[in-house]
């Protein structure tokens, strides 16, 4: 399975998806802390990540709109990926030229361009991943995607810190902008998915058009647009709620709270390592980025095996418990003088549990998307997956300033408890959820 081109392509597309993330999140926080920006301001910068959490609002456009010229040349999914990559490269280059202290607002706007373009790329790549191969290959696609994504996090995390240490933040962000070309080249040599993702949406559009003609006597062009608009915006949600009915709300709540613990904690991780604990940038890069990268890959591989062996919902439960518990290890770390070995142990546990939880969550979410609305439905899930954590993370700097790091990490761990109970609820209704799962072709 791992020698097939779609599976290999997802390695590089995963790299393309992961590259911008830390550059507007963790690495950007380290840059701001390094040049003396106040902690409270750093916390507010994390709101750039909310863009990833509200991408569901423009995902229907990615699902239904054909880009002029690009669509004819590359197809729907690849054309949107290429457009998003152009925005990412432009934004990163602009961030490289902006002074973080004297032009903080301008830096935020450039970061917003990167975050918006990156979120759009995520929507298109997620749809491409689900549509490009049959269901039996989805585990392999997810595995290589995660590997590429984590490799990009290593480059944009440790790599960016090393470049900033030995050269400058300007050089660091310029190099990251050039690396966007890896994903662009992959798109150019890949094929477009052959899935008919217009089938159910076209049926909905025709029904709405006919109803508009009958009830409102709209001009034919307006009636057709009303049908298209309803199918694009409402169709994915109508399909989801009709299938899962009263379980739909519980599913969405679980998606929203599953990663809230580790996302909220992640905002203050680098300031905790650099400012509070006193580790150097190279120590942080060595342990949390390079060593942490390999532990995350191990966690992902272990998670993939466990999902196959025990089923996705059982590993969802294990991931939720481990993620909440490992936050408490940072409370212990904050009580002692800086020690690289202790940091490595804590980072190992955190990244191992994160890798297991992430694989299980991606597999679960992918299994619930309909082929007719792939981009929008997965964007709904992935947006909810990060929105609460990103929003609460914006206040993390205030919590740390008023109470301290130990209290902050304790609170982050407690935030993971609701996810544990919701996974138990899903396990109770597992047979019904399996029966309601949508087919992967229409």
Whole-prediction pTM:
0.72
User: What sign results for the dihedral spanned by CA atoms 266, 268, 271, 275?
Assistant: negative
- Residue 158, number of CB atoms within 10 A of its CB: 24
Q: What is the pLDDT of residue 384?
A: 77
- Residue 407, number of CB atoms within 10 A of its CB: 14
Distance CA 413, CA 415 (A): 5
Four-CA torsion 383, 386, 388, 393, nearest 10 degrees: -140
Q: What is the pLDDT of residue 379?
A: 80
* C-alpha to C-alpha distances, 170 to 30, 31, 99, 114, 116, nearest whole angstrom: 14, 10, 9, 16, 21
Radius of gyration of the chain (CA): 22
Of 1.20.1250.20, 3.40.50.2300, 3.40.720.10, 3.30.565.10, which CATH number belongs to 5-189?
1.20.1250.20
Contacts of 50 (CB under 8 A, 6+ apart): 387, 390, 391, 394
Same fold, 5-189 and 245-436: yes
Domain layout of the chain by residue ranges: 5-189, 197-235, 245-436
Q: What is the pLDDT of residue 420?
A: 93
* C-alpha to C-alpha distances, 223 to 62, 180, 392, nearest whole angstrom: 22, 41, 42
Q: What is the pLDDT of residue 183?
A: 93
Residue 270's nearest CA partner among 27, 21, 19 is 27
- Biggest distance spanned by C-alpha atoms of the chain: 75
Q: Tens digit of pLDDT per residue, the chain (442 long)?
A: 677 888 889 999 999 999 999 888 888 888 888 877 777 777 777 788 788 878 878 888 887 788 888 888 988 889 999 999 999 999 999 989 888 777 888 888 988 999 999 999 999 998 888 888 766 666 677 778 888 988 898 899 888 988 988 888 899 999 999 999 999 999 999 988 876 555 555 555 555 555 555 555 667 667 666 666 666 677 777 778 878 888 889 998 998 889 888 877 777 777 888 877 778 878 888 888 778 878 888 887 788 778 777 878 898 999 999 988 888 888 888 888 888 888 888 888 888 998 888 888 887 887 777 766 777 778 878 777 777 777 777 777 788 877 888 888 888 888 889 999 999 998 888 787 777 766 554 4
* C-alpha to C-alpha distances, 29 to 64, 122, 364, nearest whole angstrom: 36, 22, 31
Distance CA 150, CA 152 (A): 5
Would you state the structure tokens that stand for residue 152, as one six-digit string? 């990009």
| Phi, psi at 100, each rounded to 5° | -70, -25
* Fold of the 245-436 domain: Growth Hormone; Chain: A; (1.20.1250)
Residue 390's nearest CA partner among 260, 272, 271 is 260
* C-alpha to C-alpha distances, 57 to 46, 121, 201, 226, 237, nearest whole angstrom: 20, 14, 17, 18, 12
Note the Cα 356 to chain centre separation in Å: 15
Would you state the structure tokens that stand for residue 147, as one six-digit string? 């590997």
Q: How many CA atoms lie within 13 A of 339 on its CB side?
A: 11
Q: How many CA atoms lie within 13 A of 270 on its CB side?
A: 25
Distance CA 43, CA 268 (A): 8
């Amino acid at each position: 399975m791992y020698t097939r081109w779609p599976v290999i392509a997802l390695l590089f597309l995963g790299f393309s998806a992961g590259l911008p993330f830390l550059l507007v999140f963790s690495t950007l926080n380290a840059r701001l802390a390094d040049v003396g920006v106040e902690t409270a301001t750093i916390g507010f910068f994390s709101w750039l990540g909310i863009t990833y959490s509200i991408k569901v609002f423009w995902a229907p456009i990615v699902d239904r709109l054909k880009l002029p010229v690009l669509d004819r040349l590359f197809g729907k999914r690849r054309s949107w990926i290429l457009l998003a990559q152009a925005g990412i490269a432009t934004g990163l280059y602009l961030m490289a030229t902006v002074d973080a202290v004297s032009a903080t607002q301008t830096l935020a706007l450039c970061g917003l361009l990167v975050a918006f373009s990156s979120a759009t790329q995520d929507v298109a790549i997620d749809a491409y991943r689900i549509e490009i191969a049959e269901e039996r290959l989805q585990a392999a696609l997810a595995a290589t995607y995660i590997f590429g994504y984590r490799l990009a996090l290593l480059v944009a995390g440790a790599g960016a810190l090393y470049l900033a240490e030995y050269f400058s933040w300007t050089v660091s962000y310029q190099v990251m902008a050039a690396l966007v070309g890896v994903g662009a080249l992959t798109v150019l040599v890949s094929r477009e998915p052959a899935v008919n993702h217009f089938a159910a949406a076209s049926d909905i559009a025709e029904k709405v058009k006919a109803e508009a003609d009958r009830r409102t006597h709209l001009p034919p062009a307006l009636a057709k647009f009303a049908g298209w608009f309803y199918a694009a915006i409402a169709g994915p949600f109508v399909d989801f709620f009709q299938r899962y009915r009263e379980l739909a709300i519980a599913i969405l709540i679980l998606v929203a709270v599953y990663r809230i613990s580790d996302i909220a904690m992640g905002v203050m991780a680098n300031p905790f390592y650099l400012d509070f604990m006193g580790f150097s940038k190279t120590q942080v890069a060595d342990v949390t980025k390079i060593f942490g990268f390999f532990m995350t890959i191990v966690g992902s591989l272990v998670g993939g095996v466990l999902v196959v062996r025990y089923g996705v919902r059982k590993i969802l439960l294990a991931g939720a418990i481990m993620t909440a518990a490992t936050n408490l290890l940072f409370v212990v770390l904050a009580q002692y003088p800086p020690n690289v070995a202790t940091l490595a142990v804590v980072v190992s546990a955190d990244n191992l549990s994160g890798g297991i939880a992430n694989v299980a969550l991606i597999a679960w979410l992918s299994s619930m998307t309909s082929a007719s609305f792939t981009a929008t439905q997965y964007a709904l899930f992935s947006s909810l997956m990060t929105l609460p954590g990103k929003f609460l993370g914006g206040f993390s700097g205030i919590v740390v300033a008023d109470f301290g790091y130990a209290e902050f990490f304790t609170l982050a761990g407690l935030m993971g408890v609701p996810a544990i109970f919701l996974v138990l609820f899903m396990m109770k209704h597992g047979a019904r959820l399996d029966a309601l799962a949508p087919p992967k072709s229409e």
